[in-house]
C-alpha cells in the first residue's frame, strides 16, 4: 500500500446517519476475492434497484469519480468486515468525513489508506448543505491537518499513529517483526505465568 | 499502588511494548478464525508467512454453515468458502471445528463452551461479536482482515488503549425480562455510538445475578452500542462454568489459574473514565422498531412519530419507519410479523432455547420460523431435554447450528418486505436479506411473536411457566 499526503478531488454528500457495514457491503458479496475488486458492491442496495440497475439520482452514481464522502454520525458501525473498507477504497474513495465512526471500521480504514475524518457535527451539516445540489472539489491535507473547501479551511488533528500510517502506507507486520525479540521474551514470560493458555488437550 | 480496573489488569498483563505514539503491542492468547478469514489467509500466503502460534489458533465453520442438507452441499460460493477454510486449517496445522465435528457451532458459542476462552485472556477474532467472550473476564475484541493477518503472523496486535466505561446495573429485573432487554435498553439510552472508544465493564448486583449465558448476551451486544469490548469480572459462577471444559486447565494448573483469576476483578476505589447507572426494575421487554439497535423501545410503547421531532432526528425516524413499513404513533404491540428466528451468537445458547420453549410449550406458532442452536452441543443438549419437540410441535423448523439467518450468508434469508421477529443482534437495512425487516428482541419475545403472530409482550404468556 502506498501512502498519501494530499487528496484533491470530488466530494459527495451522503446525508444519512449510521451508514453501517451491512449497507456499505451486503453480506452476499463477501466471498469475492479482493483481487476481483469490491468497488461495484459499494452501497450496493442503496445504489441499485432490485434488478441491479444503478439509480441515476443516487449521489455516488452521479459522481463516479468521487474521492471524498461526507456523511452523518456513526458511519461504518457494525461488523468488522474489512470488505466495507475494500468497497470504498476500490471505488476510489480516500476520505470519509463524518461526526463519528465505528471503532473497528476506523482501524480497518487506516490499514487500507482510507482516512476516517471526524469533524464536528455543525461542520459536517454545513458541508452536507453545500454539497446537497452537486458534488464539488475539496482538498484534504494530512500534512497540515486541513480540509480546504471553497474559501474555507477546517483544521483537524489525527492520532499520530494514523497520520504516520496514512502518510507512509506502512504495513504493521514488518514493523512488528522488527520487535521479534521483545515478543519472544514476552512469550516465555506468558508461558511460565499462564501455561494453560497453550492447552493441554 | 493505585487501584486498578479489571480492564487495566488485563491490558497491562498483555502489553509487550508501547510506541511513542501511544499504541500498545498486545499479546494474543487466543485467535479464532472462520470462513470470512479468507482475506487474511490470502495476505499471509502473499507474504509467504506461516501462522506464528498454531496451538493458539482455532478455526470454526459458522458464517456459511448450512443449517440443512450438510451432507450434500451443492457446488458454489458456500461450499467454496467452507473448503477454503478447511484447506487453510490443514495447511497451517490448525484444529478446525468443521461441519462434521460434534463440537462445531458459532465461534462465540464454541469458544467459551470448549474452554478455549478463559478468564484473564486476550481473545481476537475477525468478527465484531468477539466482545461476547468478555463475559468470562477476558479482553476480547473483533478485528478486521489486516489485523487478522497480523495476529496470524505475529500472535500480537497493535491497539490504542480505549477508555473504560462502567455500566452498573442494580436491582431485580422483572419476570420475562433478561440480558437482551438490558442490552437493548442501555443502547437505546446511550445510542449506537454511545460507548464509542470505550471498553465496558458491566457491574452491579443485576449483572452478578446473570447466568454465564446472560452475561455472554450482554457482552455480545457491547459492539451495538459502539463499544470496543465488554467484560464482566470473573466470579464463582464463571469458575463453575469453566471447570472441566475440554480446553480448560486441569489439576495443578487449575488451582494456579484460579488464584490469578480471583485477583482480576476491579479493585475497590478503581477509577473509571465514565460511569453509567441503570435501574434494572425499570426495564421492560424491549424490541427494536427501526434500522439501528438504538431504535429500541419497551413493547408497551408507541411507534415514534417524526412529526414530533425536529431536524436530522425526524429525518432519521422517517427513513427507518419507511424501510420498516411502520405507521407512526401506533402501538408497537400488535404489529403483525411474517416469520420468526431464534438463534445466533447473541441468543443461541441452551438457556435461550429453554426460555423460548417455556413460551412455546403446548402452543402453536401462527407464523413460520426457524430455530438454529448456537452450537452442535447446544443442539444435542436441547434434544436431550426435549426442547426440539416443543419447537417442532409448535410448527417451527429445528435446524443445524450456524450463524444462519442472523447474517444470511448461508442462504437462510428473509424475503424483501417480510417482517421477522429475531433473537439476533443487528436490525440494519438488508441484514437478513435485501429489503428484510428485522425486529430484535429476546428469544422469549420471539417465541411470543410466534404464538401471537404479532409483536407481543411475553409476560402474560409466561405466567405460571417460569
What's the mean pLDDT in A192-199? 97
**Does residue B73 carry a pLDDT above 80?**
yes
Among candidates B16, B143, B246 on the partner chain, residue whose Cβ is nearest the Cβ of A183: B16
What pLDDT is attached to residue B21? Answer: 85
Q: CA B83, CA B60: separation in Å to the nearest integer?
A: 12
CB < 8 Å to A26, chain B: 430, 434
Q: Do A17 and B316 touch (CB under 8 A)?
A: yes
HEC string of chain B equals CCCCCHHHHHHHHHEEEECCCCEEEEECCEEEECHHHHHHHHHHHHHCCCCCCHHHEEEECCCCCCCCCHHHCCCCHHHHHHHHHHHHHHHHCCEEECCCCCCCECHHHHHHHHCCCCCCCEEEECCHHHHHHHHHCCEEEECCHHHHHHHHHHCEEEEECCEEEEEEEECCCCCCCCHHHHHHHHHHHHCCCCCCCEEEEEECHHHHHCCHHHHHHHHHHHHHHCCCEEEECCCHHHHHHHCCCCCCCCHHHHHHHHHHHCCCCCCCCCCCCEEEEEEHHHCCCEEECCCCCCCEEECCCECCCHHHCCHHHHHHHHHHHHHHCCCCCCECCCCECCEEEEEHHHHCCHHHHHHHHHHHCCCCCCCCEEEECCEHHHHHHHHHCCHHHHHHHHCCEECCCCCHHHCCCCCCCCCCCCEEEECCCCCCCCCCCCCCEEEECCHHHHHHHHHHCECCCCHHHHCCCC
Task: Answer whether B6-275 and B286-459 agree in fold.
Answer: yes
- The 8-class DSSP code of residue A142 comes to T
**Does residue B381 carry a pLDDT above 90?**
yes
Name the band, by pLDDT with cuts 50, 70 and 90, for residue B363.
very high
Taking only residues 143 to 172 of chain A, the set having a beta carbon closer than 8 angstroms to any beta carbon of chain B reads: 159-161, 164, 172
**Does residue B465 carry a pLDDT above 80?**
yes
Cα–chain center distance at A52: 25
- Most B CBs within 10 A among A1, A13, A16, A18, hence the mutation to make, goes to A18
What pLDDT is attached to residue A201? Answer: 62
Name the band, by pLDDT with cuts 50, 70 and 90, for residue A172.
confident
What pLDDT is attached to residue A2? Answer: 83
Q: Do A198 and B55 touch (CB under 8 A)?
A: yes
pLDDT in tens, A93-131: 999 999 999 999 999 999 999 999 999 999 999 999 999
Q: Do A74 and B192 touch (CB under 8 A)?
A: yes
Nearest to B288 by CA among B267, B266, B304: B304
Nearest to B111 by CA among B264, B216, B237: B216
| Burial class, B466, CB count within 10 angstroms (exposed 0-12 / middle 13-18 / buried 19+) | exposed
Q: Which long-range contacts (CB under 8 A, 24 or more apart) does B256-261 make?
A: B256/A196, B257/A194, B257/A196, B257/B118, B257/B119, B257/B120, B260/A193, B260/A194, B260/B120, B261/B119, B261/B120, B261/B137, B261/B234
CB < 8 Å to A166, chain B: none
Nearest to A102 by CA among B191, B110, B58, B449: B191
What pLDDT is attached to residue B142? Answer: 98
pLDDT in tens, B426-435: 999 999 999 9
- Paired with B200 in beta bridges are B165, B230
Mean pLDDT across chain B, nearest whole number? 97
Nearest to B342 by CA among B421, B411, B418: B421
pLDDT in tens, A17-52: 999 999 999 999 999 999 999 999 999 999 999 999
Q: CA B29, CA B14: separation in Å to the nearest integer?
A: 9
**Does residue A11 carry a pLDDT above 70?**
yes
CB distance B404 to B421 below 8 Å: no
> H/E element holding A196?
none
What's the mean pLDDT in B62-73? 95
What's the mean pLDDT in B76-103? 97
CB distance B136 to B236 below 8 Å: no
Domains of chain A plus CATH, in order, are: 6-170 (3.20.19.10)
Q: Do A23 and B430 touch (CB under 8 A)?
A: yes
Q: Which residue has the higher pLDDT, B126 or A201?
A: B126
A190 touches chain B (CB under 8 A): yes
Q: How many CB atoms lie within 10 A of CB A173?
A: 17
What's the mean pLDDT in B190-217? 98
Q: Do B42 and A34 touch (CB under 8 A)?
A: yes
Instruction: Tell me the three cell numbers of residue A84.
Output: 466495507
A174 touches chain B (CB under 8 A): no
For domain B6-275, the CATH class is alpha beta
CB distance B157 to B126 below 8 Å: no
> H/E element holding A176?
helix A172-177
pLDDT in tens, A50-96: 999 999 999 999 998 999 999 999 999 999 999 999 999 999 999 99
What's the mean pLDDT in B180-195? 98
- Determine how β-strand B15-18 pairs with β-strand B23-27: antiparallel
pLDDT in tens, B251-284: 999 999 999 999 999 999 999 999 999 999 999 9
* Exposure class string for B328-356: b at 16+ Cβ within 10 A, else e: eeeebbebebbbbbbbbbbbbbbbbbbbb
Q: Do A159 and B22 touch (CB under 8 A)?
A: yes
Q: Do A187 and B27 touch (CB under 8 A)?
A: yes
| Cα three-residue angle B22-A100-A46, rounded to 5 degrees | 130
What pLDDT is attached to residue A1? Answer: 74
Q: Do A100 and B407 touch (CB under 8 A)?
A: no
Q: Residue ranges per domain, chain B?
A: 6-275, 286-459
Taking only residues 1 to 40 of chain A, the set having a beta carbon closer than 8 angstroms to any beta carbon of chain B reads: 15-18, 20-23, 26-28, 30-31, 33-34
Q: Do A83 and B39 touch (CB under 8 A)?
A: yes
Output the CATH code of domain B286-459: 3.30.499.10
**Does residue B9 carry a pLDDT above 80?**
yes
Q: CA B344, CA B221: separation in Å to the nearest integer?
A: 12
Angle, in degrees to the nearest 10, between helices B212-220 and B179-190: 30
**Does residue A200 carry a pLDDT above 80?**
no
Q: CA-nearest residue of chain A to B130?
A: A80
Alpha-carbon distance values, A164 to A114, A138, A141, B20, B24 (Å)? 13, 22, 13, 12, 15
Percent of chain B with pLDDT over 90: 98
What pLDDT is attached to residue B123? Answer: 98
Task: For residue B428, give how far its alpha carbon lies from the nearest alpha carbon of chain A (Å).
Answer: 7
What's the mean pLDDT in B191-210? 98
Size of interface A-B (CB pairs under 8 A): 187
What pLDDT is attached to residue A171? Answer: 75
Q: CA A175, CA A165: separation in Å to the nearest integer?
A: 11
DSSP string for residues in A57-125: TSHHHH-TTEEEEEE-SSBT-S---THHHHHHHHHT--EEEES-B-HHHHHHHHTTT-EEEE--HHHHH
**Does residue A147 carry a pLDDT above 90?**
yes
Q: Do B22 and A160 touch (CB under 8 A)?
A: yes
Q: CA B144, CA B88: separation in Å to the nearest integer?
A: 18
Amino acid at each position: 500500500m502506498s501512502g498519501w499526503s494530499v487528496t484533491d478531488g470530488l466530494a459527495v454528500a451522503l446525508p444519512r446517519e449510521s451508514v453501517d457495514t451491512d449497507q456499505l457491503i451486503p453480506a452476499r458479496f463477501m466471498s469475492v476475492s479482493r483481487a476481483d475488486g469490491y468497488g461495484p458492491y459499494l452501497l450496493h442496495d442503496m445504489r441499485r434497484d432490485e434488478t441491479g440497475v444503478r439509480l441515476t439520482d443516487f449521489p455516488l452514481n452521479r459522481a463516479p469519480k468521487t474521492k471524498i464522502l461526507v456523511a452523518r454520525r456513526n458511519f461504518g458501525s457494525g461488523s468488522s468486515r474489512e470488505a466495507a473498507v475494500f468497497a470504498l477504497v476500490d471505488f476510489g474513495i480516500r476520505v470519509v468525513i463524518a461526526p463519528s465512526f465505528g471503532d473497528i471500521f476506523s482501524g480497518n480504514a487506516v490499514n487500507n489508506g482510507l482516512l476516517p475524518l471526524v469533524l464536528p457535527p455543525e461542520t459536517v451539516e454545513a458541508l452536507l448543505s453545500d454539497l446537497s445540489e452537486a458534488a464539488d472539489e475539496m482538498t484534504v491535507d494530512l500534512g497540515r491537518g486541513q480540509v480546504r473547501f471553497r474559501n474555507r479551511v477546517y483544521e483537524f488533528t489525527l492520532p499520530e499513529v494514523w497520520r504516520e500510517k496514512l502518510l507512509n502506507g506502512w504495513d504493521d507486520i514488518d514493523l512488528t517483526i522488527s520487535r521479534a525479540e521483545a515478543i519472544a521474551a514476552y512469550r516465555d514470560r506468558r508461558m511460565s505465568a499462564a501455561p494453560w493458555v497453550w492447552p493441554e488437550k | 499502588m493505585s487501584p486498578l480496573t479489571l480492564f487495566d489488569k488485563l491490558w497491562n498483563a498483555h502489553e509487550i511494548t508501547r510506541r511513542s505514539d501511544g499504541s500498545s503491542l498486545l499479546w494474543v492468547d487466543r485467535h479464532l478464525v472462520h470462513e470470512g478469514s479468507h482475506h487474511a489467509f490470502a495476505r499471509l500466503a502473499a507474504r509467504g508467512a506461516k501462522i506464528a502460534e498454531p496451538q493458539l489458533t482455532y478455526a470454526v465453520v459458522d458464517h456459511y454453515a448450512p443449517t440443512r442438507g450438510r451432507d450434500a452441499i451443492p457446488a458454489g460460493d458456500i461450499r467454496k468458502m467452507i473448503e477454503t477454510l478447511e484447506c487453510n486449517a490443514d495447511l497451517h496445522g490448525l484444529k478446525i471445528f468443521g461441519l462434521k465435528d460434534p463440537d462445531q457451532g458459532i465461534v462465540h458459542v464454541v469458544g467459551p463452551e470448549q474452554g478455549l476462552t478463559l478468564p484473564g485472556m486476550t481473545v481476537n477474532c475477525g468478527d465484531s461479536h468477539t466482545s461476547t467472550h468478555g463475559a468470562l473476564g477476558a479482553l476480547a475484541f473483533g478485528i478486521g482482515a489486516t489485523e487478522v493477518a497480523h495476529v496470524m503472523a505475529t500472535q500480537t496486535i497493535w491497539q490504542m488503549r480505549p477508555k473504560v466505561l462502567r455500566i452498573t446495573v442494580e436491582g431485580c429485573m422483572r419476570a420475562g425480562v433478561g440480558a437482551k432487554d438490558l442490552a437493548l435498553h442501555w443502547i437505546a439510552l446511550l445510542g449506537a455510538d454511545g460507548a464509542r472508544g470505550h471498553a465496558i465493564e458491566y457491574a452491579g448486583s443485576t449483572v452478578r445475578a446473570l447466568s454465564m449465558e446472560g452475561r455472554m448476551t450482554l457482552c455480545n451486544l457491547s459492539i451495538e452500542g459502539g463499544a470496543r469490548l465488554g467484560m464482566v469480572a470473573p466470579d464463582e459462577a464463571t469458575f463453575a462454568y469453566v471447570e472441566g471444559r475440554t480446553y480448560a486447565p486441569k489439576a495443578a494448573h487449575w488451582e494456579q489459574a484460579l488464584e490469578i483469576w480471583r485477583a482480576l476483578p476491579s479493585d475497590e476505589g478503581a477509577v473509571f473514565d465514565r460511569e453509567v447507572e441503570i435501574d434494572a426494575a425499570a426495564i421492560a421487554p424491549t424490541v427494536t422498531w427501526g434500522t439501528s439497535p438504538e431504535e429500541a423501545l419497551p413493547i408497551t410503547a408507541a411507534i415514534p412519530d417524526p412529526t414530533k421531532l425536529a431536524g436530522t432526528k425526524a429525518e432519521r425516524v422517517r427513513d427507518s419507519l419507511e424501510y420498516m413499513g411502520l405507521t407512526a404513533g401506533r402501538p408497537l404491540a400488535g404489529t403483525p410479523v411474517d416469520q420468526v428466528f431464534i438463534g445466533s451468537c447473541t441468543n443461541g445458547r441452551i438457556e435461550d432455547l429453554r426460555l423460548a420453549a417455556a413460551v412455546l410449550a403446548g402452543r402453536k406458532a401462527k407464523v413460520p420460523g426457524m430455530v438454529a442452536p448456537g452450537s452442535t452441543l447446544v443442539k444435542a443438549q436441547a434434544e436431550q431435554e426435549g426442547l426440539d419437540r416443543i419447537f417442532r410441535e409448535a410448527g417451527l423448523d429445528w435446524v443445524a447450528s450456524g450463524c444462519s439467518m442472523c447474517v444470511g450468508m448461508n442462504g437462510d434469508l428473509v424475503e424483501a418486505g417480510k417482517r421477522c421477529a429475531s433473537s439476533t443482534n443487528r436490525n440494519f437495512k438488508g441484514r437478513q436479506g435485501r429489503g428484510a425487516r428485522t425486529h430484535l428482541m429476546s428469544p422469549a419475545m420471539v417465541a411470543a411473536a410466534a404464538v401471537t403472530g404479532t409483536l407481543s409482550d411475553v409476560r402474560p404468556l409466561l405466567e405460571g411457566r417460569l
